[in-house]
């Protein structure tokens, strides 16, 4: 079956690949200034680029696409199989050029020995004796999609999937569990399907999904959290109490005023999976309400710039307290929220985060 001619966008992408190759040392591109050599309709690829890389002749057989996710890679690899087989020779490489390639898609292509290029400038050419690997940040459009997936109500759906990763979910079930609309739950599941992180069964209204790659999903969430701005915090000093006693005293004060809260960071991690000999500060997620302010007054909390032993992380939505757990006399933030909060903290917090992930989260 012949390939349709590449669209204008895909043709521009191939030209961008040519321009990128020309900027690399020890790379000569043997195509006219106008661009790559277009393929005939039955060639099985969109364009051919003849090069010399480190003095070796290498022919790139290009398939161009706008966007590629891991879900798409399996089908693409099957279609590229004749080109991949042709690439068993030292001088020919099958290469997928796309406007955006997810990290998972790049990993799959590398595993199969297929080259790739995206509009962000990432480039991989696995030719024998003429290897090229350039890693660049994802294109803005792909980065924006990933950021939005792990913020707001979409993050609540992600959280629910991770917290109940052994279950199968329909859209309505996930929406109810994560306290989001069915439309939001459906958007999240569709995006995760593209990344090949979930399995599906059934069709139509009975369709269900199951999280197959919780580690990859949590890694992606962690990457977004690390790259984001730290949350706004209010720092206080509460006299006369060490951290462990302060957790229980703060819990009593918040509950007496019906203030929604969850202890997080080191104080919560220490109760989930002890790691440090002592904790010097308590950090707490609190829903901003008059009751929360009254609780601080009851505790005798003083605002300070230095020497704080109690820190409030103000949240705007009850969804930021989802899956909190009662441990002893206090509510602790979900182990996933504690893990992500620790990644943004200082000192030995990151070590503690990895310990919590291993001992309590398990993915």
The pairing of strands 310-315 and 282-287 is: parallel
Looking at the DSSP bridge assignments, the partners of residue 168 are: 210
Least confident of 38-42, 190-194, 346-350: 38-42
Neighbours of 238 (CB within 10 A): 18
pLDDT digits (tens, 9 = 90+) for 55-93: 889 999 888 888 788 888 887 788 777 766 765 556 888
Q: Assess whether the region 150-227 and the region 233-361 belong to the same CATH fold.
A: no
Q: Could you report the per-residue pLDDT of 10-53, keeping only the tens digit for each?
A: 788 888 999 999 999 989 998 654 445 555 455 677 888 999 99
Best CA proximity match to 91, nearest among 53, 140, 117: 53
Q: Which residues contact 309 (CB under 8 A, 6 or more apart)?
A: 236, 237, 238, 241, 243, 246, 280, 281, 282
Q: How do strand 261-264 and strand 282-287 relate by DSSP bridges?
A: antiparallel
Domain boundaries, the chain: 8-138, 150-227, 233-361
Angle at 248 between CA 289 and CA 245, to 5 degrees: 130
Q: Which residues contact 278 (CB under 8 A, 6 or more apart)?
A: 242, 243
Q: Does the model's pTM come out above 0.85?
A: no
Percent of the chain with pLDDT over 90: 53
CATH 3.40.1310.30 holds for 150-227: no
Q: Which phi and psi angles does 43 have, rounded to 5°? A: -75, -25
Residue 105 confidence (pLDDT): 85
Residue linked to tokens 């917290």: 163
Tens of pLDDT, residues 234-291: 999 999 888 889 999 999 999 999 999 999 999 999 999 999 888 889 999 999 889 9
Q: Looking at the domain that runs over 8-138, which CATH code has it been given? A: 3.40.1350
Selected from 2.120.10.70, 3.40.50.300, 3.40.50.150, 3.30.460.40, the CATH number assigned to the domain covering 233-361 reads 3.30.460.40
Contacts 24+ apart (CB under 8 A), 169-177: 169/208, 169/209, 169/210, 170/205, 170/206, 170/207, 170/208, 171/207, 174/209
């Amino acid at each position: 079956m012949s390939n349709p001619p590449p669209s204008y966008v895909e043709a521009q992408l191939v030209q961008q690949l040519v321009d990128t190759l020309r900027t690399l040392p020890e790379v000569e591109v043997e195509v006219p200034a106008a661009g790559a050599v277009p393929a005939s309709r039955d060639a099985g690829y969109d364009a051919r680029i003849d090069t010399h890389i480190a003095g070796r002749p290498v022919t790139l057989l290009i398939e161009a696409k706008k966007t590629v996710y891991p879900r798409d890679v399996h089908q693409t690899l099957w279609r590229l199989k004749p080109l991949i087989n042709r690439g068993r020779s030292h001088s020919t490489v099958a290469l997928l050029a796309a406007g955006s390639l997810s990290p998972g898609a790049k990993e799959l292509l590398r595993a199969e020995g297929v080259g790739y290029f995206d509009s962000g400038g990432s480039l991989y050419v696995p030719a024998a004796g003429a290897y090229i690997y350039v890693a660049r940040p994802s294109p803005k459009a792909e980065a924006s999609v990933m950021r939005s997936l792990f913020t707001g109500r979409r993050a609540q759906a992600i959280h629910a999937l991770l917290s109940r990763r052994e279950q199968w979910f329909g859209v309505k079930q996930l929406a109810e569990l994560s306290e989001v609309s069915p439309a939001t739950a459906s958007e999240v599941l569709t995006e995760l399907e593209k990344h090949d992180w979930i399995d599906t069964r059934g069709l139509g209204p009975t369709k269900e999904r199951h999280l197959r790659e919780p580690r990859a999903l949590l890694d992606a969430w962690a990457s977004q959290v690390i790259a984001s701005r730290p949350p706004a915090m209010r720092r206080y000093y509460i006299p006369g109490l060490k951290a462990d006693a302060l957790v229980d005293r703060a819990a009593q004060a918040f509950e007496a005023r019906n203030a929604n809260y969850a202890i997080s960071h080191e104080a919560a991690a220490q109760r989930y999976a002890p790691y440090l000999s002592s904790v010097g500060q308590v950090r707490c997620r609190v829903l901003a309400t008059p009751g929360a302010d009254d609780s601080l007054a009851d505790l005798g909390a003083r605002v300070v710039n230095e020497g704080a032993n109690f820190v409030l992380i103000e949240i705007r939505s009850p969804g930021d307290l989802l899956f909190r757990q009662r441990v002893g006399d206090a509510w602790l933030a979900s182990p996933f929220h504690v893990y992500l909060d620790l990644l943004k903290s200082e000192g030995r917090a990151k070590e503690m985060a990895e310990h919590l992930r291993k001992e309590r989260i398990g993915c």
